Amino acid sequence: MKKLKILFVTSELSPLARTGGLGDVVGALPGALRGSGADVRVIMPLYKSIKDGCADQMVFLRWSMIRLGWRTLYSGLFRMELNGVPIYFIDNEFYFYHDQLYLDYSFDIERFSFFQRAVLETLGEPMDFMPDILHLNDWHTAMIPCLLDAHYRPYGKLSDLKTVLTIHNIKFQGIHSRERIADLLDMPDRYMNNGAILKDGMPNFLKAGIVFADRVTTVSPTYATEILTDYFGEGLHVLLQSQAHKLTGILNGIDDAVYNPATDPAIPANYDRTNWSKGKAVCKAALQTELGLSVDKRLPLACMITRLTDQKGLDLLLHVLSEMLNGDLQLAILGTGEAGYEAALKEHADRNAGLFALRLAFDTELSHRMYAGADLLLMPSLFEPCGLAQMIAMRYGTLPVVRETGGLKDTVQAFNKYSGEGNGFSFRNINAHEFLYTTRYACDIFRHEPEAWEMLVATAMSGDYSWRASAQSYLAMYQQLKE
């Protein structure tokens, strides 16, 4: 069988540039696919942090001039390898040499319009690689199927190129004015209608990708079902219902070599499922000391490692936080986000020294220590396309308390006291006290039923959360596209 050639097109890739799950996915899935026999590569913007940190590892391939409306702009192409995966970079310092990955929304539309046009101009001879399939990710790359249709078909070197679009979070869609997008992307009038790229009279990048891509995927089976409904579909549910024949939900995985308590160099004691109790006890005491919490092995320690936004259920947490911090548990939160949430959490932390530790930071190593040292992970998300934190937590023997939505529902089986089955705890409704009571129930199991807790931890740590199964699902989809 001919080796499939896949090019991932992305705005993020861990560890080079990430703000969340998108970067984690693209940082791990291409390597898993290469391990299964496909020739998978990645192309992304050459951000300032990458250019400054990895310049000595890169090879310059070529430069060209890209037309973007009335503008003619330099586009450089660089290459390096990361963990055996070839990575290509589109260089333009005006657009990408900034301290943050994302800037002003209007400017981001222009930046990623340039990026998408530049990607299509690099395919084939410039990068010495012609993919069979472009695997696109979120709105930053979702106009590419439409650009192919408008400018490269039915003839030419890209006429047979297939496209897959993965929706990591449908809330972010890439919307701007009709005149600006027509200018930036040289978009013919025949695409400026509600049957093509317009949504409510405005060009919508994500809608265009859904309409013109050959396949559309989401990052969990439940999320693929949820976005067909008004509540979760963010205005695109009717369109998705009409395109349901090409929509698939494939669960994300985690890099189980990076997230491995048996070998993780960031945690104070390594352990596996045969000696987790002893190892986690060391990690918990060290974490309590580090965060200024009372060192008490009898108190369950819950953590949240999250962006501080409404999506993550922060309103639910704040509504019951005073009740939660009544001596039943300790809480540690790591993350940054909206100023209002940061201020409200800081006020609670100041009032509850010894019980509640707050770290308003992005700290990868501390997150590993929290996964290893905590007993519970709280994820009361309003929606969660997949979620990786709950899988990482279970890998470390930390039991998740989640709302039954998206990938949380697909990965966390609620504890059944009568059968002894389960790998965590869950609640159904967007209800603060339902979240509180489920968390208290988990704490009761921790304190009063050690045998049940041991069974839950053993089940959680035995799960396969790797990319291996998901990679096979992607490969099967790629093969179908090429048949």
Give the range among 218-222, 364-368, 469-473 with minimum mean pLDDT: 469-473
pTM, two decimals, is: 0.90
C-alpha to C-alpha distance for 420 and 375, rounded to whole angstroms: 18
CATH H-level, domain 276-462: superfamily: Glycogen Phosphorylase B; (3.40.50.2000)
C-alpha to C-alpha distance for 151 and 135, rounded to whole angstroms: 19
- Arithmetic mean of pLDDT, 30-59: 96
C-alpha to C-alpha distance for 400 and 412, rounded to whole angstroms: 7
C-alpha to C-alpha distance for 375 and 373, rounded to whole angstroms: 7
Q: Under 8 Å CB-to-CB from 1, ≥6 apart: which residues? A: none
Q: Please state the separation of Cα 461 from the chain's center in Å.
A: 22
Helix, coil or strand: residue 457: helix
Q: Which two tokens stand for residue 191?
A: 């695409």
Same fold for the domain at 5-253+468-482 and the one at 276-462? yes
pLDDT in tens, 236-285: 999 999 999 999 999 999 988 899 999 999 999 999 999 999 999 999 99
- Arithmetic mean of pLDDT, 47-73: 95
Q: What is the dihedral of CA 408, 143, 213, 472, to 10 degrees?
A: -50
Amino acid present at 472: Q
pLDDT in tens, 72-103: 999 999 999 999 999 999 999 999 999 999 99
C-alpha to C-alpha distance for 27 and 350, rounded to whole angstroms: 37
- Look at residue 255 in the predicted model and tell me its pLDDT: 87
pLDDT in tens, 187-209: 999 999 999 999 999 999 999 99
Q: Which two tokens stand for residue 387?
A: 């979620």
Which architecture, in CATH terms, is 5-253+468-482? 3-Layer(aba) Sandwich (3.40)
Q: What are phi and psi of 363, to 5 degrees?
A: -140, 100
C-alpha to C-alpha distance for 152 and 340, rounded to whole angstroms: 47
C-alpha to C-alpha distance for 402 and 420, rounded to whole angstroms: 18
126: exposed, middle or buried (Cβ count in 10 Å: 0-12, 13-18, 19+): middle
Percent of the chain with pLDDT over 70: 100
Helix 364-373 vs helix 276-291: crossing angle, to nearest 10: 130
- Arithmetic mean of pLDDT, 344-356: 96
> What angle is formed at CA 203 by the lines to CA 132 and CA 177, rounded to 5 degrees?
135
- Look at residue 1 in the predicted model and tell me its pLDDT: 58
Residue 94: how many CB atoms within 10 A of its CB? 12
- Arithmetic mean of pLDDT, 8-15: 96
Using 50, 70 and 90 to split pLDDT, how confident is the model at 21? confident
In the chain, domain spans: 5-253+468-482, 276-462
DSSP 249-273: E------TTTS-TTT-TTSSS---T
Average pLDDT, the chain: 95
C-alpha to C-alpha distance for 215 and 232, rounded to whole angstroms: 20
pLDDT in tens, 385-414: 999 999 999 999 999 999 999 999 999 999
**Do the bridges between strand 247-249 and strand 301-305 make them parallel or antiparallel, or are there none, so unpaired?**
unpaired
C-alpha to C-alpha distance for 363 and 64, rounded to whole angstroms: 38
- Look at residue 154 in the predicted model and tell me its pLDDT: 81
